[in-house]
Amino acid sequence: MRKLYVIGIGAGDPDQVTMQAVKAMRRAEAFFVIGKGAEKQELVDVRTAILREYVDGQHRVLEIADPPRDRAPADYTGVVQDWHDRRAVLLEEAFEQVDGDGAILVWGDPALYDSTLRMVERVLDRGRVRFDYEVIPGVTSVAALAAAHRVVLHRIGEPVHITTGRKLREEGLGPGSTVVMLDGECSFTEVPGDDIHIWWGAYLGMPDEILIEGNLREVEKSILERRARARAEKGWIMDVYLLRSE
């Protein structure tokens, strides 16, 4: 049976690609690249650079245009599910054009805030194309953040809570340490208290990487400024941060 490899490629530095990922890439005849529109072309470029570096030129690259979606809908879950359905149809159509094994390169690790595995399961549920799939883990942006700051994510024996900016605003910090992803709103500014430490990173592993660390109240203004400037210059930003009481 044909195989689809769902391959974690790390969070932006091609050197984070594992040997396991390289071996899976070399087995694939075609790569499905889910584009995010022109402003994030740099992310598509990282995947292209990885393919150039680790596999020979005997493969096809099928770009799947990301269907547009409402970013602030009233029915968030419904809109996201509909978007996943439309992506599943596009992946199905792309896989139908290929005879051998396929691969999808996933940013970071497929198990962390990524919908690729759900999309693959939807394609299988639809029953039009039959295949087996295998997941290759990747270096997450959370691991890249911890390594860049040379910090352990939690205190000895304590938990670490991974959440989104939206949930941080709704629910506050978790027990122990909190890692925040997918935060376009700088939600750290809404966390109360003078004794919180932040380890913040943007474009981790990429040439424009920015790292800021310190007492949240003391450094939040400089994070806001650096973040706004970088976002204006590049047209996009990806950042992640760790919060913990001091």
Ligand X SMILES: C[S@@+](CC[C@H](N)C(=O)[O-])C[C@H]1O[C@@H](n2cnc3c(N)ncnc32)[C@H](O)[C@@H]1O
CB 48 within 8 A of CB 76: no
Minimal distance, residue 12 CB to ligand X, in Å = 4
Strand pairing class (60-64; 30-34) = parallel
In sign, the C-alpha dihedral spanning 106, 109, 114, 116 is positive
Compute the least distance from the CB of residue 58 to ligand X, in Å.
Answer: 28
Binding letters toward ligand X, positions 205-224, x by CB under 6 A: xx------------------
Residue from 16, 140, 163, 187 binding ligand X (CB under 6 A): 140
Least spacing, CB of residue 53 vs ligand X, in Å: 18
* 129 vs 182, beta carbon nearer ligand X: 182
Tell me: does residue 113 bind ligand X (CB under 6 A).
yes
Cβ within 8 Å of residue 36, ≥6 positions away: 43, 44, 66
Q: Is 69 helix (H, G, I), strand (E, B) or coil?
A: coil
Q: Which of 7, 123, 204, 212 binds ligand X (CB under 6 A)?
A: 204
- How many residues interact with ligand X (rule CB under 6 A)? 21
Is 238 a binding residue for ligand X by CB under 6 A? The answer is yes
What is the spatial distance between Cα 26 and Cα 89, in angstroms, rounded to a whole number? 26
**b/e code 137-171 from CB counts within 10 Å (16+ = b):** bbbbbbbbbbebbeeebbeeeeebbbbebebbbee
Q: Does 182 bind ligand X (CB under 6 A)?
A: yes
Stretch that binds ligand X, among 15-23, 88-96, 108-116, 127-135 (CB under 6 A): 108-116
Residue 135 within binding range of ligand X, rule CB under 6 A: no
- In 3-state terms, what secondary structure has residue 7? strand
Interface residue with ligand X among 141, 177, 178, 187 (CB under 6 A) is 141
Pairwise CA distance, residues 21 & 215, whole Å: 38
- Positions in the binding site for ligand X (CB under 6 A): 11-12, 107-109, 112-114, 140-141, 181-182, 201-206, 238-240
